[in-house]
Amino acid sequence: MTGFKVDRVREMFPALVSKDEQPATIFLDNPGGTQVPRMVIEAIGQAMASAASNLGGLFPSSIRAEEIWQSSHQAMADMLGASSMREIIVGPSMTTLTLHISRSIGRTFNRGDEIIVTRMDHEGDISPWLLLAEDLGLVVKWLSFNRDSWQIEVEDLKSLLTDKTRLLALNFASNLTGSINNVAELSSVARAAGALVYVDAVQLAPHRLVSVNELNCDFLACSSYKFYGPHLGILWGRESILEKLHAYRCRCSSDELPQRLETGTPQTELLAGLEATVNYFQWLGELCGYTGSRREKLAGAYTTAIAYEDQLTTRLIQGLEEIRGLQIYGITDVERIHDRVPTVSFTHDSFTPDEMSQTLAKNGICAWTGHNYAYEVVKHLGLDVEQGVLRLGIAQYNTESEIDTTLGVLTDLLK
């Protein structure tokens, strides 16, 4: 194994402690949401104790709430590589933020304009755009993924672009197949054709450091509960675009960025947790021996975690491939491990995903089944939409022995 100190990482997570002499729960449901480190839990509690006031008051708890709002936005700007915190919009979830901003973006479109959505995305980056198209009379074009590479191909995108294309909405990494798209290249092609590019990085952000300014996209959304944080969504938008968008907001609220695109009272305690989530990655970078700026430490944390996660993923894929009748949907070639996040979905000839999941659950292993809102992917693969797949996803706190235990339970069931 690499120099990744998984024992130190695990100590951070209260949910990983075994209780009543039972083995600790094995969390492989991570693509649906990760467990939370102590520093995040404590920050949320402290904010509720000391900053449970609305923003804008002249008294200490309100001033503290304002500080939390500022520093959490700055922390996310650092984490995403944004030019400033004016580009960071925080809300309850990625889906809510996307539904909200899609209304503002739609104000710049006309009936008959074209938008492109993909068959690889989570519904959170499809349905808002389909609803917008319905409201405005837009033409929807579907971009598929390649069944061999498991990625979206630039040539397929080019064949859909016309002088009427206004938007490309695509994911960075699939929440079902785990494959990572070449977003920088796809964005450049779409933007050169005059389209805005909206990227769903919800599944990528737990496993890769995002650098929005290297991607050529216009918007990028993620959710902190997928990377050890609280239930919040975060949206980055290019400042020059955000400041021109029509904002759906209360008349008397601030017209400054990013407040003009954040409606209502902020979830201050969760914002405190969000900043602590970034601090967790920073702590991890330091633990792995990295120094320098916050972003340098974050980069170090990701670099070390990627090497560790890749080894566990390789072990998982190789173990699953030895089970007869089991079919993995996604990249299995270990030479291409860098083209995927550690989310591995599969079906079996004789057992349904729910049957496999029930057996795993009886053995203290958490895993998701179904379409997981990757509804188009499941349909495109010709799978039963209700049953979908069994999905296992690795996080920083998982261990080699957890992977082996899981493979052992599955092998016993499926042999």
Ligand X SMILES: Cc1ncc(COP(=O)(O)O)c(C=O)c1O
**Which chain residues interact with ligand X by CB under 6 A?**
93-95, 122, 124-125, 171, 175, 200, 202-203, 223, 233, 373
Chain center to CA of 334: 23
CA distance linking residue 166 with residue 127, whole number of Å: 17
- In the bound state with ligand X, the residue whose beta carbon lies nearer, of 114 and 125, is 125
Q: 3-state class of 198 per DSSP?
A: strand
C-alpha distances in Å from residue 178, one per residue of 149, 223, 274, 332, 336 = 12, 16, 25, 10, 12
d(CA 212, CA 197): 12
| CB proximity list for 326: less than 8 A, separation 6 or greater | 320, 346, 347, 348, 349, 410, 414
Largest CA distance in the chain: 67
Give me the helices (H) in 214-373, please. 239-242, 268-287, 294-321, 353-362
Question: Are residues 388 and 371 in contact, defined by beta-carbon separation less than 8 angstroms?
Answer: yes
